[in-house]
C-alpha cells in the first residue's frame, strides 16, 4: 500500500511523551543499531493477544542492541481506554520492555502510514526501513503462532544477513483515527487485513 512507509525510507522524526514522564525523539535511540517502532494501543485484542510474544522478542534481542518503541495513536474520542492515563496504568501493570509513546495528534502515525494495531517497522543503524508489517501470524492468540516474522527479521539483521522478506500485511485492528478524509479508515473497524 502506498499509504504506509516504503522499505528503504528514512524513519520520520518524532518527539512524543512517554508513560515514564519523559519525552522521546528519534535521536534518543541513536545508540541502538536497530530500532523497532510499532503502533499499538491498550485495548485491541490483536495487541493484547500478542504483547507477551513481543515482550519475548524484545527481551531476546536487547543484548544485540535492538530498541523497541511502542506508539499509541488511537483516538481517545473513539475509544476512551486508549487515552494516556490508561497507557500509564498498562505499563505499570505489565512492565513491558519498551518505551511507550503517545501520539495524540496522530501526526506520527500518519507520517509512518500506520495501518493496524499492531503494525511493526524495523529500522537499521542509519534508520532506513528494512521491514514493515506483522510480528506474528496469529496476533489475536500468540500461543497459536506458526510464523514470527519479527524474530526472523531481527535474526537476519543482527547477524548481517539480507532480509529475506521485507514486507508483510499487518494483522490487527484499524488505527482509530480521529476525523475523516480520503485516507482515513473506519474508526469502528477491528478486522483482519
Task: List pLDDT tens digits, range 77-135.
Answer: 988 999 999 999 999 999 999 999 999 999 999 999 999 999 999 999 999 999 999 99
How far apart are the C-alpha atoms of 155 and 161, rounded to whole Å? 8
pLDDT digits (tens, 9 = 90+) for 27-62: 999 999 999 999 999 999 999 999 999 999 999 999
How far apart are the C-alpha atoms of 130 and 4, rounded to whole Å? 13
Please give the distance of CA 100 from its chain centroid, rounded to a whole number.
10
Question: % helix / strand / coil in the chain, to the nearest 5?
Answer: 30, 25, 50
| Entry pTM | 0.92
Amino acid at each position: 500500500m502506498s499509504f504506509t512507509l516504503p522499505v528503504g525510507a528514512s524513519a520520520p522524526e518524532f518527539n512524543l511523551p512517554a508513560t515514564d514522564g519523559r519525552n522521546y525523539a528519534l535521536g534518543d535511540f541513536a545508540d541502538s543499531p536497530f530500532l523497532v517502532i510499532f503502533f499499538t494501543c491498550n485495548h485491541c485484542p490483536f495487541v493484547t493477544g500478542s504483547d507477551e510474544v513481543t515482550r519475548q522478542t524484545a527481551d531476546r534481542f536487547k543484548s544485540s542492541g535492538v530498541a523497541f518503541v511502542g506508539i499509541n495513536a488511537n483516538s481517545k474520542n473513539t475509544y476512551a481506554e486508549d487515552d494516556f492515563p490508561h497507557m500509564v496504568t498498562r505499563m505499570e501493570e505489565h512492565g513491558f520492555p519498551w518505551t511507550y509513546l503517545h501520539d495524540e495528534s496522530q501526526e506520527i502515525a500518519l507520517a509512518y502510514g500506520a495501518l493496524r494495531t499492531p503494525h511493526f517497522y524495523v529500522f537499521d543503524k542509519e534508520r532506513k526501513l528494512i521491514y514493515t508489517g506483522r510480528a506474528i501470524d496469529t496476533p489475536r492468540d500468540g500461543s497459536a503462532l506458526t510464523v514470527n516474522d519479527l524474530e526472523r527479521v531481527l535474526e537476519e539483521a543482527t547477524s548481517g544477513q539480507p532480509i529475506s522478506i521485507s514486507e508483510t500485511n499487518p494483522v490487527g485492528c484499524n488505527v482509530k483515527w480521529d476525523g475523516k478524509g480520503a485516507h482515513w479508515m473506519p474508526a469502528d473497524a477491528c478486522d483482519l487485513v
